Structure 1
Amino acid sequence: MSKAGNLFVEGDSLFHRMDGAVKLILLLTWTVSTFLFLDLRIFAVMLSAGIGMLLLSRIPFRRMALLFWVLMVFTLINSIFILIITPRFGSTLTGSNTPLIPVGYDTINAETLFYVLTLSAKYLTLLPVTMLFIFTTHPSRFAASLNKLGVHYKMAYAVSIAFRYIPDLTQEFKNILNAMQMRGMGISRGDGNLWRRMKNLSLVVVPLLQSSLQHIESVSNAMDLRGFGTGSKRTWYMGMPMSRSDKWMLLLCVLLLVAAILLKGFWAEKFWYPF
């Protein structure tokens, strides 16, 4: 498998050197802490910290651009649907109603706009740490770290393969799409209406599945030939002992989770609305 066959970006930052399992614990802790709240103030602090960690990792933006824009589009579509379908949903959370934007059948109020802003900030808060985990974690090191935490090596290796083959599937999709376009299948704006273009695009699924199954069979045969799974344990070429910085990060994760639970229990409101 080629070096380019995974999302890992080479680097020498603190997060590149960090144990993969520790980064997974950081991601899970960050996710749990984020979903405990619906408070824009907390999201602003967490988002700033996440962006700071992402900048410290020095990952080129062009490598993260696709994931970034996918989440931006998802957040925008989600916000539009909330405003269109439930234009006064914010009133159920605040008990007040401040009409703001008439949309014919109803009026979008200020409470719903603030709720949508808060919800968008919630999704964006997860983005930096998620990208940090994806782009600074080498699949083999991550699998070794999971095994070190007690995850069976077969499951750990399955996770490693999944990480490795996401970019390969993306490239395979592009190759199949280009081949079908050369044979006259139109998916561009001038090749028909939206329904026809979506129908043409769906035709890529069948050859993509066939190609994926062939990859799975090839990998499975290669692993069987090498005796994978015959032993109860296995060693890891890229396994690394946990460093002092990893232990400090684990302690910070515990403190973050405890602080989030205490804030949720004794201070934070269900939905913070400043007006």
Structure 2
Amino acid sequence: MLKNVIIGQYVPGRSFVHSLDPRSKLITIFLFMIFIFISRDPFVLSSAVLLTAAAFLTAGIPFKFFWKGIRIILIIVVLTFTLHLFMTQEGMVLLDLGWITIYSGGLIEGGLIALRLFLLIILATMLTLTTTPVDLTDGMERLMKPLKRVKVPTHELALMMSIALRFIPTLLEETQKIVKAQTARGASFSQGSLWKRVNALIPVLIPLFVSSFKRAEDLAIAMEARGYAGGEGRTKFRQLSWRTRDTMIVSFLLLFGVFSIITRIS
């Protein structure tokens, strides 16, 4: 199942979402995240669902490929919903079994948080699928450029985030290889008590950490051999281009945000 995780991968394409400037994508997701967490209005949240669906359709990503990739991440959404369902004790009692009580407030809060988290997972996954790691790094660096005035190493921060995203599929592939090797040696990851399953993961985690540190060291040596010395004075072969479509997308999200704030106040 780990091989299906798609966060950090890039799918080449010529769709409308692919052609957007990475800065506009990052700004759009950031604004979208703020606005859907501000508003509790059903119409605003329904509009957010439609906007996410429209973005997915225009991205041209195969649904089966996308669904296989986010299924494992949906465990977080289900867990979040369950925690709010059982821990929020507000509103009318919907179910009382003595040892467990479910309230209407827990159902509503759990549904809202799960929906918001689900939409953000979809958009964040689409960001990496439709944006190359290089463009994503450049976009983050440009957006953080004002922080250079207070001596924040924006280039290094953007590079670290980009490398982290890039190595997610690699680490998952490495984990799958280790799991298969341990299974061939007789290890079991799906049988026995919870404690036994946790102990079975130790032979996986140790070689995974060793492999990760070795890979990081090899990457650092390769960067030093190529003369990398930070972002100061570096030029770029590919220049980002902010177009009219990017302005329209960000402006539309701002209008959506204003409407969300108005519904929150009223």
Moved more, 224-233 or 179-188: 224-233
Mapped partners of 1:246, 1:36: distance in 2: 24
Mapped partners of 1:77, 1:13: distance in 2: 34
Mapped partners of 1:205, 1:57: distance in 2: 36
- Contact 1:141/1:239, CA 8 A, preserved across alignment: no
Match runs of 1:180-195 below 5 Å: 180-189=182-191, 192-195=192-195
Mapped partners of 2:79, 2:140: distance in 1: 35
Residues 231 and 46 of structure 1: is their aligned pair in 2 closer, same or farther, counting only changes over 3 Å? closer
- Which position in structure 1 is the counterpart of 2:226? 226
Candidates 117, 131, 143, aligned match of 2:111: 117
Rg comparison, structure with higher value: 1
Return 5+ residue gaps in structure 2 as ranges.
1-5, 146-153
Residues 51 and 128 of structure 1: is their aligned pair in 2 closer, same or farther, counting only changes over 3 Å? farther
Mapped partners of 1:216, 1:5: distance in 2: 20
Mapped partners of 2:161, 2:126: distance in 1: 17
Counterpart check, 1:130 vs 2:124: yes
Match runs of 1:217-256 below 5 Å: 217-229=217-229, 232-256=232-256
Residues 182 and 260 of structure 1: is their aligned pair in 2 closer, same or farther, counting only changes over 3 Å? same
- Which position in structure 2 is the counterpart of 1:104? 98
Paired residue secondary structure (1:90): coil
Structure 2: which amino acid aligns with 1:215? Answer: R
What TM-score do the two structures reach when normalised by structure 1?
A: 0.82
CA drift of 1:196 comes to: 0.8
Mapped partners of 1:231, 1:116: distance in 2: 44
- Which position in structure 2 is the counterpart of 1:270? none
Residues 82 and 5 of structure 1: is their aligned pair in 2 closer, same or farther, counting only changes over 3 Å? closer
- Contact 1:145/1:239, CA 8 A, preserved across alignment: no
- Contact 2:7/2:129, CA 8 A, preserved across alignment: no
Paired residue secondary structure (2:14): coil
Structure 2: which amino acid aligns with 1:206? Answer: I
Candidates 43, 53, 77, aligned match of 2:55: 53
Counterpart check, 1:13 vs 2:15: yes
CA drift of 1:168 comes to: 0.6
Counterpart check, 1:81 vs 2:83: yes
- Map Cα deviations across residues 172-224 of structure 1 (whole Å, 9 max, x no partner): 111111111112211133xx333212210233111111111111111111111
- Which position in structure 2 is the counterpart of 1:29? 31
- Contact 1:38/1:119, CA 8 A, preserved across alignment: no
- Which position in structure 2 is the counterpart of 1:212? 212
- Contact 2:56/2:126, CA 8 A, preserved across alignment: yes
What TM-score do the two structures reach when normalised by structure 2?
A: 0.84
- Map Cα deviations across residues 238-273 of structure 1 (whole Å, 9 max, x no partner): 3332222122223223333333333323x2xxxxxx
CA drift of 1:85 comes to: 3.6
State the aligned residue count. Answer: 253
- Contact 2:155/2:230, CA 8 A, preserved across alignment: no
Residues 102 and 15 of structure 1: is their aligned pair in 2 closer, same or farther, counting only changes over 3 Å? same
Structure 2: which amino acid aligns with 1:209? Answer: F
- Contact 2:83/2:110, CA 8 A, preserved across alignment: no
- Map Cα deviations across residues 64-122 of structure 1 (whole Å, 9 max, x no partner): 33552234322222223333344xx232xxxxx3x332222354233432333333222
Mapped partners of 1:60, 1:167: distance in 2: 19
Mapped partners of 1:83, 1:241: distance in 2: 46
Structure 1: which amino acid aligns with 2:109? Answer: Y
Residues 116 and 250 of structure 1: is their aligned pair in 2 closer, same or farther, counting only changes over 3 Å? closer
Moved more, 160-169 or 62-71: 62-71
Paired residue secondary structure (1:49): helix
Q: What CA RMSD, in Å, does the superposition of the two structures yield over aligned residues? A: 2.4
